[in-house]
Structure 1
Amino acid sequence: MATIRDIATLSGYSVTTVSRVLNNHPYVAEEKRNKILKIIRDLDYIPSTKARDLSRGKSTHIAVMIPYTNHPYTDKIVSGILRAAFNDGYKVTLLPTNYNPTVEKQYLDDLAAKAWDGMIITSKKISFERIEGYLKYAPIVCCEDTGSFSIPCISIKREQSYIDLFTRLKKQGYQHIGLTVGRTENESASTDLVLKTYKKILGVLDESMVFRNCYLYEDGVQAGRYFSTIKKLEVIVTNGDDVAAGILQHLSKDQVKVIGEENLLSSTLLNFSTIDHHLDHCGEAAFQLLLRKEIKTEIMPYTFIERI
């Protein structure tokens, strides 16, 4: 296989000149450039990506740590990251973790070893304290509020969205409200927020009104079967539109008001209300913040979409 030195020998120019042509350097005479490009074509030479990245000092390649590959939350936030990355000519590697802290740490170690130019963490189990220690190696952005830690982040206004939703339901006279959640409140800041907000606005939360370990449509079907046995149930606040769609396989909108999250296609087709945290925009903003390498928190607004 031909090397850059072979091209230099055949062209009669230096390795430095050949390298400039390969990297589209502007200050190369047109005659030299054309001769070198012809030899490159004749030899069917393909430059080493690693060598080119080393010469430029960056790879235009980032990593995105995700908990799962089959979750609507992941799909929507990743779609925003991919759109922004493509527009800026960046490659993206997705790193699923299943919330395994050992796997998460290994990915961070890979980042420290310069496997990528930077990393976006959409959701994690490892502590912010551990993550902060890796900022000296490469930029990192988290898609959740990092509090007092000096980690750049996109803060989704989940707490305010839950406060406004439960306040709205209370004013409308609803009293018997069920919930679906995913991970436990000890593992998930989102679960912790929604449970605390429920109690703060509505009072005591009866555990029988909470259906746990709910993530996908199939889980929603199970939740719908469970909630169909509870008398006087008026509203179910879910942790995802697909979960809400599953619930509606056992309960009709005439029986109970179902509210989803993230404004997916399912909420449009089945015409139920949803909270849109604009996760695709969150992904785009996270990518741009990663490129700027700023230590700051950007707030992502939310929209309540009411459908009757």
Structure 2
Amino acid sequence: MATILDIARLSGVSKSTVSRVINNHPHVSEDSRTKVMEAIEKLSFVRNARGVNLRTQTSKTIGVTIPVLDHPYFSPLVGMIAAKCRKAGYKIVIFQTFYSIDEENKIYEKLTENELDAVIITHTLLGEKKIKQRVRDKIVLICNEPLQTRHLDVFSLDERDAVYSSTQYLLKEGRNQLLFCADEEKTPLQRQRWEGFKQAHLDLNKSCTIQQKLSGYSTIEEGILLGDEIFSGHCNHDGIFAGSDFLAAGLLSSAKKHGVSVPKELSIIGFDNHPICLTTFPALSSIQNQTELMVKDLMHCLLDRLEGKKFPTVRKVYKGNLVIRGT
């Protein structure tokens, strides 16, 4: 296998010049660069990326944590992050935690062992103190999860306000028997949504009980099954807040099957305003997330951290807006 010394001998330049060419250093004459590139081609030289990484102490790899890959929200979120990282010259490794703290801790071990340059947490079951204990001074950013922290950069939607305002809208429209459908209620995000739902009732002097909350639903299939259970008998609900647009689409499909008129008898609101909202009839009302802006701001902060820039902890909270359509 050819070495840098072999290239230097063939091209007639120093080893340091060869190294600068291989690492795209700008301060190399065009004549020297041409000679080196010709020698590389003749010798079929392959750059040892692992060796470069060991010298620079970087892996050019970003870890991204998600609960499960096929989740209707996390899959497109990771797609946006991956595209931005690739454009910046980084690759990503996706880690599914399966809602397991043990799996989450394994990711942080990889970070502290320098297998990753940074980790983007889109979902966590841990608080700030536990995360900092595991990652120490490594680069970690929170995207999506509204974690309360003073030492980690956080980019998240105001989940509580988004659900609060949407719930109030339904209540003011005369919908008094509302149902709240959560995803995995163990996370801060889902707890904030439930708090917003409850507070909207309290502020309008409406009762709200734990019986109005269901959890563990997020997909179209789960929405259909849940709807079949709700609508097959006497349905007491006149409004449903669905934790995802896909769940809302499933509920709408089931409502039609059981002869429940939407929106005459029942209102449905989804979450994230995915394109699927435009494919149903009637078109689904939903809460507009700010994922694109969130990822843009996240990546700007991440790249600055990777470059070693020093600045105070960043916390950006985005506002979700209710998009009213036919449901």
TM over 0.5: yes
Whether 1:3 aligns to 2:6 is: no
- Whichever residue aligns with residue 97 of structure 2, its letter is T
- Whichever residue aligns with residue 288 of structure 2, its letter is D
- Whichever residue aligns with residue 109 of structure 1, its letter is E
Q: Which residue number corresponds to residue 152 of structure 2?
A: 151
Q: Which residue number corresponds to residue 111 of structure 1?
A: 111
Q: Which residue number corresponds to residue 171 of structure 2?
A: 170
Structure 1 residue runs of 4 or more that deviate by more than 6 Å after TM superposition = none
- Listed one character per residue, the Cα deviations across residues 168-218 of structure 1 (whole Å, up to 9, x for unaligned) are 12211210111211223xx12232223233222224434443332102111
- Whichever residue aligns with residue 245 of structure 2, its letter is D
Q: Which residue number corresponds to residue 30 of structure 1?
A: 30
Tell me how far apart the structure 2 counterparts of residues 65 and 259 of structure 1 sit (CA, whole Å).
Answer: 28
- Listed one character per residue, the Cα deviations across residues 42-92 of structure 1 (whole Å, up to 9, x for unaligned) are 122120112233444534321111111001110232132123223322211
The TM-score with structure 2 as length reference comes to 0.87
Whether 1:300 aligns to 2:304 is: no
Give 3-state SS (helix, strand or coil) of 1:45's partner. coil
Aligned residue pairs: how many?
Answer: 306
> 1:142: how far off?
0.6
Whether 1:291 aligns to 2:303 is: yes
**Percent identity over the alignment?**
24
Deviates further, 101-110 or 287-296: 287-296
The counterpart of 1:241, out of the listed 218, 221, 245, is 245
RMSD: 2.0
The TM-score with structure 1 as length reference comes to 0.92
The counterpart of 1:263, out of the listed 250, 273, 277, is 273
Tell me how far apart the structure 2 counterparts of residues 232 and 28 of structure 1 sit (CA, whole Å).
Answer: 76
8 Å Cα contact 1:81-1:280 kept in structure 2: no
- Whichever residue aligns with residue 6 of structure 1, its letter is D
- Whichever residue aligns with residue 301 of structure 1, its letter is K
Tell me how far apart the structure 2 counterparts of residues 179 and 35 of structure 1 sit (CA, whole Å).
Answer: 68
> 1:259: how far off?
0.7
8 Å Cα contact 1:79-1:283 kept in structure 2: no
Tell me how far apart the structure 2 counterparts of residues 306 and 212 of structure 1 sit (CA, whole Å).
Answer: 24
| CA shift in 2, pair 1:193/1:24, >3 Å | closer
8 Å Cα contact 1:64-1:94 kept in structure 2: yes
> 1:148: how far off?
3.7
Where do 5+ consecutive residues of structure 2 fail to align? 257-261, 306-310
Tell me how far apart the structure 2 counterparts of residues 70 and 280 of structure 1 sit (CA, whole Å).
Answer: 19
Matches within 5 A, 1:67-216: 67-134=67-134, 136-143=136-143, 144-184=145-185, 187-202=186-201, 203-216=206-219
8 Å Cα contact 2:179-2:213 kept in structure 1: yes
Tell me how far apart the structure 2 counterparts of residues 282 and 265 of structure 1 sit (CA, whole Å).
Answer: 18
> 1:134: how far off?
4.8
Give 3-state SS (helix, strand or coil) of 1:72's partner. coil
Where do 5+ consecutive residues of structure 1 fail to align? none
- Listed one character per residue, the Cα deviations across residues 6-26 of structure 1 (whole Å, up to 9, x for unaligned) are 223333433222111101222
